[in-house]
Amino acid sequence: MKYADGLWLNKPGYGVNYATQIYEVTADEKSINVLATNQWIGNRGMTLGGPVLEITFTSTLKNTIKVTVDHFKGRVTKAPSFELYEDADFKPVITEKDDAFELVSGKTKVVVPKGGAWDIKYYYDGRLLTKQGWRTTSYILEEQWKTNERMADDEMKPFFAHDDTAENGVMREMMNISVGESIYGFGEKFSTFVKNGQTVDVWNNDGGTSSEQSYKSIPFYVSSNSYGLFVNHPEKVNFEVASETVSKVAFSVQGEHLEYFVIGGANIAEVLSTYTDLTGKPALTPAYTFGLWLTTSFTTNYDEETVTSFIDGMAERDIPLEVFHFDCFWMKEFNWCDFTWDKRMFPDPKAMLQRLKAKGLEICVWINSYIAQRSTMFDEGVKGGYFLKTTDGSVWQGDMWQPGMAIVDFTNPAAREWYKSKLRALCEMGVNAFKTDFGERIPTKGVVYYDGSDPYKMHNYYTYLYNKTVHEVLEEYYGKDKACLFARSATVGGQKFPVHWGGDCFSNYESMWETLRGGLSLCMSGFGYFSHDISGFEAQGTPDLYKRWCAFGLMSSHSRLHGNSSYRVPWNFDEESCDVLRHWTKLKGRLMPYLWTQAHKTHETGIPMMRAMVVDYTDDPACRNLDRQYMLGDNLLVAPVFNEEGTAQYYVPEGKWTDIQTGKVFDGGKWYTTKHDYFSMPVLAKPNSIIVYGDFKRAFEYDYAENAEVVIYQLEDGKTAETVVYDTESNKLLTLKATRSGDVIKVTAEGTAKNFKVRSAEGLSIEM
């Protein structure tokens, strides 16, 4: 929210109390504490009233500075809180200088003056990251009185105390934006990729991909100056990104307390790695999940015969398929969710699933946490007390989505176990994965949670408990290495329960682009993987769009064909679509040794598989705004085609990059415009890289080292490239190292070598 009226004034009705004077500073072995007054103290009489702010700087994790700002510290703090991985024993280095205290965590440092004007600076390895100063840190009240009238104490309460009914206390912070600095992240945001100039509300909504709303809202941003800022509040956080004060990122929360972390790094990748140290690493999704997913679509009519015709049709056209997904209408209409197959369409679901699994498929089914009144689970939930309640003890109900629906209260351990029992029954039937839809439309007024959680804080946090509950079922049943969701909503920490897809998009090129922007922003926010509805969800696009989106979809970390009112099988578009889908699916299958290695890195480091160019090329100014191309892992640049003309416009960083399909070499540091048929788009191998191609047949889980082809791309003289090949049990099979000397590349291999071949893309001699 904006509180300023230009540079000098505030909007009428708001009293803004800035941290103006550093009045007192104390330090111990773990923290620096500042008492900041809202005015310059000229005499002792000026200390009789407030407000004053207490600001504490500490560190609970290497390369992070934790900042807490308090007005009133005595208020009750209600659940929930984000699950963070802080180290209570971590000790930063605190040094007292002549005029300031310094707190150092790793290479990240905050400098706090001992007195004078409010002036805080953050550094990484001696490089200034950001700072605070005049009129930045503040406590804001909505003024409900007139200063020229004498009032009783109770009438002045809105000024001196926070009122729960008025909710008029706001904590706000501002961080400096330096010249040329770009801001990214905030979760899955479909707006312009660089967030400068935008107002961002961290508040989950079911708004599709074509608005400022988001299914996955994360109070975290990263800067092109290689630092991140995480606001540790599950409730609504408002960001004004160079939109109110154009040289600042402002962020605000309701209440008397604000907590945030400043995270330093040598580059954006390091910042993301540290952020996921704090909030959780993405899980390693099973290898099969990287293959092609096909769904029934949403409102279509289908039964076992229809489903089988799709699966057999893909097999007849030699299009490898890994997962078949049953969307909503596997259950009877008006009964969602009862987790019971519609017997009119599926009279023997267990036998049907066995028949499908015999074809080499994994099975996913749609679920959500809303229970319709006609569901067989509704009365069970009411009796057990498993639903969200109103203040009078009634079950909260609504008609939006399912008539009379209730919402499962995941703060209740018994409700979680009840919900899990229903999902376990589906696993026993043969279901391998769940699409956890919805979780955004969570009421905040007049509702009561089992554990007394604050409904306002639970609005965003609900999805964390929902997805965690479902993920735990899959971990318990199949093991941690085999658990996979297909989730729409998320908050901080949701990256631990992948995969996430982009939600409801239209079937046009504009929506294809906004889908990519949303994915890049999400992966700037701690999430490791990203998927989307190939060819768009709403309506049905042209065969041209379908074929272009197939290329984009298969060169994403996870790939799913899904739509609303029509089937997304390729022959519904044209026969060439079958050829195109086959081509890109098989290319992805051949790339599985490379992709599986990259997935391991994402799981271990938190650096996303599918990421904006600026993550890898933070110091290249040309990469800062790029949102029509991305890196797929460390070594592949992908630039989808976003138009009917078949042209791709993209930037290639320094070095010599090689098109992995044509072998054409592109000199870096340049922009290119190239024309493509449906079987090509820019997929360029990074110089000084090794990519391992597997002997792919149909299944995405196979022996990645058996008969593999190892290709070394543009290895420069004197340079070394390395890679690792894993098997599907996540064991290292093979470690490869290549070093060039003159026109000869010497390759060493450690581990299990299985008839693999090595070649140089340039045709240089290979010495083993």
pLDDT for 166 equals 39
pLDDT for 163 equals 39
Question: At the topology level of CATH, where does 4-176+253-264 sit?
Answer: Immunoglobulin-like (2.60.40)
pLDDT for 583 equals 98
- Per-residue pLDDT tens over the stretch 622-651: 999 999 999 999 999 999 999 999 999 999
| Reported confidence tier of residue 544, pLDDT bands at 50, 70, 90 | very high
pLDDT, the chain, mean: 95
Alpha-carbon distance of 554 to 738, in angstroms, equals 29
For the chain, domain boundaries? 4-176+253-264, 287-605, 703-768
- Whether residue 538 has pLDDT greater than 90: yes
Task: Specify the range with the lowest mean pLDDT, choosing from 92-101, 146-155, 185-194, 591-600.
Answer: 146-155
- Whether residue 154 has pLDDT greater than 80: no
| Reported confidence tier of residue 597, pLDDT bands at 50, 70, 90 | very high
- Whether residue 149 has pLDDT greater than 90: no
Strands (E), 614-713: 630-632, 636-638, 647-652, 656-659, 665-667, 670-675, 683-685, 689-693, 709-713
Spatial neighbors of 612 by CB under 8 A, at least 6 apart, are 184, 193, 520, 523, 524, 623, 626, 627, 630, 631
Mean pLDDT to the nearest integer, 220-238 = 98
**Strands 323-326, 292-295: parallel, antiparallel or unpaired by DSSP?**
parallel
Q: What is the dihedral of CA 277, 704, 433, 585, to 10 degrees?
A: 110
- Whether residue 151 has pLDDT greater than 90: no
Mean pLDDT to the nearest integer, 714-725 = 97
Mean pLDDT to the nearest integer, 497-502 = 98
Alpha-carbon distance of 503 to 214, in angstroms, equals 9
4-176+253-264 with 703-768: one CATH topology? yes
* Class of the CATH domain delimited by 703-768: mainly beta
pLDDT > 90: percent of the chain: 93
pLDDT for 144 equals 56
- Whether residue 320 has pLDDT greater than 80: yes
- Per-residue pLDDT tens over the stretch 213-228: 999 999 999 999 999 9
pLDDT for 158 equals 40
| Reported confidence tier of residue 161, pLDDT bands at 50, 70, 90 | very low
pLDDT for 562 equals 98
Would you please indicate which residues are annotated as catalytic (active-site) residues? 437, 440, 504
Alpha-carbon distance of 716 to 657, in angstroms, equals 12
Contact 736, 751 (CB under 8 A): no
Alpha-carbon distance of 612 to 523, in angstroms, equals 8
pLDDT for 733 equals 85
pLDDT for 508 equals 98
Q: How many CB atoms lie within 10 A of CB 165?
A: 5
pLDDT for 167 equals 52
Mean pLDDT to the nearest integer, 104-110 = 98
pLDDT > 70: percent of the chain: 97
pTM: 0.96
- Per-residue pLDDT tens over the stretch 561-577: 999 999 999 999 999 99
Q: Of the CATH numbers 3.40.50.300, 1.20.1090.10, 3.40.190.10, 3.20.20.80, which one belongs to the domain with range 287-605?
A: 3.20.20.80
From residue 696, give the alpha-carbon distance in Å to each of 589, 709, 754: 6, 11, 15
| Reported confidence tier of residue 156, pLDDT bands at 50, 70, 90 | very low
